[in-house]
Amino acid sequence: MNIVIASSEVVPFAKTGGLADVCGSLPIEIAKLGHRPFVFLPAFRQAKESGQPLSDTHVKLEIPIGSRIVSGRILQSVLPGSNVPVYLIEQDEYFDRKELYRESGEDYKDNCERFVFFCRAVLEAIRLLDLDIDLIHCNDWQTGLIPAYLKIEYENAPGYENMASLMTIHNMAYQGQFWHWDMLLTGIDWKFFNWHQMEFYGKLNLLKTGLVFCDSINTVSPTYAKEIQSAPLGCGLEEVLSCRRDVLSGIINGVNYDVWSPENDPYLNERFSADNWQAGKASAKRLVQSELGLPEIENAPLIGIVGRLADQKGFDLIAPVMEQWLKNHDVQWAVLGTGEAQYHHLLEQLAARFPGKLAVRLEFSDRTAHLIEAGSDIFLMPSRYEPCGLNQLYSLRYGTVPVVHATGGLVDTIADTNGENLAQNRATGFVFDMYKPASLESALMRACDTYRNDKSTWSQLINTGMRQDWSWQTSAQKYVDLYELTIQRANQAVCA
């Protein structure tokens, strides 16, 4: 199969979150399975400054935006360590900016126009580059217009008749909503601006547009695929998703173990693996304690947290529990993250009050993220909702036992420490159901109690977690199966 993967973020060209990791890793695995992926993203300033070699294809674009024609160019690169072609859509007025979507807390005013341009450019580039494409894999609202253009404008265009589209949702909370007059920029007939198709309470909704017009939909875990079919996690689009549930599925993201594994982590003093982790894990704990300025206590559990400091990640639960525990319990905390100002203030305050127990780094640091994953005993991830989540998967490989809320990808990847799971050697962490501080506290209590008083169960959890395989290989095969199914589905629809 020849597949276009269209995304606004691709590692190592442009990244603000997990979307970039997926679109940088998945195409390489698809290629290994014998297929031909072509990756498309905007030539953002971040991409041009990424240090990746970019060359000019000399292919020029003339794209209709409302009543104007806007020109652009196609640049070319490859995904590092592979031959997978990457095409970057260059239009400096739209994409040569400091950030990807927003600056100083405000979205760029022309975001709709920028991504109308990108979506149309991807479709035109397929023809201009003479690619024979079977399916376009769209990711999030930035690419939501592609399935609509395919069905409306390219339906009878030579070469596009049988092209299928898949829409992957990485987070329902981001939908790309714009005022209705932006419909004029899309060039799509007003008759499609209705509540069954492109409209959402009077606004143009680009994610909804993609979900309505694509041939298949998936999201990044099976549980999240179910959760988004009802409120509140459907974020208003639950009806659309439940109407299309026959074409909706979930595939867990993979982990890039070349980057996230204690066996080859360059930041560690002593590497370790599932076969022999005791000494390496203890050394990583000392390293993170000394780097973050925590006393080197061996027997107190060290709880690690890495991620966006936002309610989505459970900080409204963590805040009250952490404060109580700092007063009353003999445990250490290491927190790395950036995000909402209220949590910055709170964490700074608590770290000043309890310097020997809490270390906080309010920054984005790959090195510190690796050290906390490796050196902590417990990884805390009580997300309110979690489409997939990567940090809990990294934790498993580093022998750091996750404590998680039972939601989305966390349910699909972490098995609770109960009698049945222990007997079947499946248990890997501590899971709580109710999204309440008391439930989080009781899960943490169970984890700390096991750590202190039941060393053999603790070792069993580490051994089970470290031996699990969440690599891209398995997930990529599932994407290939879904691509095949989607192409069949699209062709049946054409014949019907």
Residues at the site binding ligand ADP, with contacts judged by CB under 6 A: 17-18, 306-308, 336-338, 364-366, 369, 388-391
Closest to ligand ADP by CB, 171 or 209:
171
Q: How far are the Cα atoms of 25, 88, 134 from residue 483, in angstroms, in the given order?
A: 17, 23, 9
Q: State the nearest-atom distance from the C-beta of 387 to ligand ADP, in Å.
A: 7
Shortest Cβ 284–ligand ADP spacing (Å): 16
> Least separation, in Å, of the C-beta of 388 and ligand ADP?
6
Q: Within 10 Å of residue 362's Cβ, how many Cβ atoms?
A: 16
Q: How far is the CB of 339 from ligand ADP (least distance, A)?
A: 8
Half-sphere exposure of 287 toward its Cβ, with a 13 Å CA cutoff?
Answer: 21
HSE, CB side, 13 Å, CA atoms: give it for residue 27: 31
Q: How far is CA 444 from CA 4, 318, 349, 454, in A?
A: 44, 11, 22, 15
Q: Which is nearer to ligand ADP, 197 or 400 (CB)?
A: 400
Cross-strand partners of 255: 471
Peptide bond into 37 cis (omega under 30): no
- Closest CB 190 distance from ligand ADP, rounded Å: 36
Q: Is 82 exposed, middle or buried (0-12, 13-18, 19+ CB in 10 A)?
A: middle
- Of the two residues 127 and 308, which places its CB atom closer to ligand ADP in the complex? 308
Minimum CB separation from ligand ADP for residue 456, in Å?
30
Nearer to ligand ADP, 9 or 416 (CB): 9
What distance lies between CA 236 and its chain's CA centroid?
Answer: 21
- Cβ proximity to ligand ADP: between 302 and 369 the closer is 369
CB of 73 or CB of 308, closer to ligand ADP: 308
Using alpha carbons only, how large is the chain's radius of gyration in Å?
A: 23
| Cβ atoms of 449 and 301 closer than 8 Å | no
The H or E element spanning position 205 is strand 203-205
* CA trace torsion 291, 336, 460, 223 (10° rounding): -170
Q: Which is nearer to ligand ADP, 145 or 305 (CB)?
A: 305
Q: At what angle do helices 145-152 and 111-128 cross, to 10 degrees?
A: 50
Q: CB of residue 12 vs ligand ADP: minimum separation in angstroms?
A: 13
Shortest Å distance, C-beta 221 to ligand ADP: 11
CA distance 330 to 60: 64
Q: Which is nearer to ligand ADP, 256 or 450 (CB)?
A: 256
Q: Which residue is nearest to ligand ADP (CB)?
A: 18
d(CA 101, CA 302) in angstroms, rounded, equals 36
CA 4 – CA 165 distance, rounded (Å): 9
Q: At closest approach, how far in Å is the CB of 161 from ligand ADP? A: 36
Nearer to ligand ADP, 327 or 367 (CB): 367
Closer CB to ligand ADP, 16 or 424, in the complex: 16
How far apart are CB 137 and ligand ADP at their closest, in Å? 19
C-beta closer to ligand ADP: residue 210 or 408: 408
Alpha helices by DSSP H, 137-274: 145-152, 183-186, 206-213, 222-227, 238-243
Smallest gap from residue 362 Cβ to ligand ADP (A): 8
> Does residue 438 contact residue 446 with C-beta atoms inside 8 Å?
no
> What dihedral do alpha carbons 342, 344, 350, 356 form, nearest 10°?
170
